[in-house]
């Protein structure tokens, strides 16, 4: 893992994930390259919906389940942060 690939939004997005989903994990303990779903952080489809809404409200980025890139966007904290950084309107 290289810091140069890190998105400056990663700490804020980690906080958003923990607060939105009421996770019992320290946001700074989330590995930015770890999977968010399944074996990684263990999120599910309901979590994805809640997180999408929070991201939309906070950053103005509309995540749609019909987007062919959605799995890649939600693959890790780093991927999500990078996508939000590129597509945010707020």
Span 23-67, pLDDT tens digits: 999 999 999 999 999 888 999 999 999 999 999 999 999 998 899
Nearest CA-CA partner of 55 in 67, 38, 73:
73
DSSP state of 82: H
Write the CB contacts of 74 (distance below 8 Å, at least 6 apart in sequence): 36, 37, 48, 63, 80
Predicted local confidence at residue 8, as pLDDT: 87
């Amino acid at each position: 893992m290289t810091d140069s690939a890190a998105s400056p939004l990663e700490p804020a997005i980690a906080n958003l994930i923990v607060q939105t989903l009421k996770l019992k994990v320290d946001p700074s303990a989330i590995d930015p390259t770890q999977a968010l779903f399944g074996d990684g952080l263990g999120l599910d489809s309901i979590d994805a919906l809640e997180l999408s809404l929070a991201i939309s409200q906070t950053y103005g980025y509309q995540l749609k389940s019909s987007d062919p890139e959605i799995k890649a966007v939600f693959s890790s904290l780093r991927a999500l942060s990078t996508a939000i950084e590129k597509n945010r309107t707020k």
